[in-house]
Structures are given as C-alpha cells and as structure tokens.
Amino acid sequence: MKGVTLAIVSALLWGIAPLFDKLAIVNSKVLPIPANTVRCLGAVAALLTLAVITGEWSFSAIDMKRAIYLVLAGAIAGGFAMVTYYAALKELGAGKTVPLTSIYPLFTVIFSVLILGERVNVTRAILGTLLIVCGVVLVMFS
C-alpha cells in the first residue's frame, strides 16, 4: 500500500509541475534549453533538501555501471525529453502536451520487451495501448 500511495503522490506532483512550466515559458521568450537548465537547478535544490531531511547521503551503492545507467536516464528524460516537452508545451499548451506525452508507457513496454527481455501479456498490452491512445485522442480533439 505504501508504494501505491507514493505513486499517487508522484502523479499528483507531476500533475502540478506542468502548470509552473507553462507559466514560465508560454507567451514568453524563454527557450526550452535554458528553461530546462533552470528547472534542473530546482530539482538539485529539492534533492539536497531531501537528503538533509532524510539523511540519505550515501552514494556507495551506486557503482560505475549503475552510475552510467542513471546518467543516461537523466540525459534522456531530464535533458532531451524535457527540452522537446518544453517546445511542445510552448506550441500546444499544458492541456494537450501533458496527455500526449503521457503515452510514454507504450514506449516503455516496447523497449522493456526488446531491450530488457521482459515478458508482457500481449492481449493486455494491446488493450492497454488502445485505451491510452483513445484517451489521448479524446483530450487532443475535445
């Protein structure tokens, strides 16, 4: 149950953040790369604050292999994806950009099967994909 609560809190926070993103960049001369750089500074400040509060300072469990994976994930999601997200946000607004970018689980499932060798129930994967696409279409064209 704790994991579900944490996931819901995470979703809530992810639901709030785009509002601030939009306020910062839409109808402004703010470009995606500098905007994301400043946003990342906010993330670092939050993480340092959480580290002080929780006492989670130990990086000893992060070996070089895991560090490379984490740096790649940060570069892909926190860097490149956020820049394209901001560019889309500037063009479409939060109400359309966020639902559209929420199709990322489709790619996660595909890549987890192809790259990590994970198994999925094909019927459920297809049904889930259709539901996600229908939801995005409803939001995009409403």
Question: Are 37 and 8 part of one and the same domain?
Answer: yes
pTM for the whole structure: 0.82
**Mean pLDDT on 76-84:** 95
Q: How many domains does the chain have?
A: 2
78 and 116 in one domain? no
* Residues 80 and 119 reside in one and the same domain: no
Phi, psi of 94 (to 5 degrees): -70, -40
Instruction: Select the more confidently predicted residue: 1 or 22.
Output: 22
- Assess contact for 141 and 99: CB atoms under 8 A: no
Tell me: do 30 and 75 sit in the same domain: yes
- The answer, yes or no, to whether residue 2 has pLDDT greater than 80, is yes
**Model confidence pLDDT, tens digit, residues 100-125:** 898 888 898 899 999 999 999 999 98
Mark whether 72 and 114 lie in a shared domain. no
Q: Taking a C-beta distance cutoff of 8 angstroms, is the pair 21, 93 a contact?
A: no
d(CA 81, CA 36): 10
Mean pLDDT of the chain: 92
Q: What DSSP state is assigned to residue 24? A: H
Task: Give the span between the Cα atoms of 97 and 95, in whole angstroms.
Answer: 6
Span 34-59, average pLDDT: 94
What the block records as the tokens of 128 is 């889930």
The answer to whether the beta carbons of residues 110 and 103 sit under 8 Å apart is: no
Residues 35 and 87 in one domain: yes
**89 & 115 share domain:** no
Q: Do 87 and 122 sit in the same domain of this protein? A: no
Do residues 106 and 132 both lie within one domain?
A: yes
Per the structure, the complete domain to which residue 122 belongs is given by 102-142
The model's pLDDT over 83-93, given as tens digits with 9 standing for 90+, comes to: 999 999 999 99
Going by C-alpha positions, the residue among 22, 41, 42 that lies closest to residue 32 is 22
pLDDT band at 24 (very low <50, low <70, confident <90, very high): very high
Does 113 share its domain with 84? no
Q: pLDDT at position 1, please?
A: 83
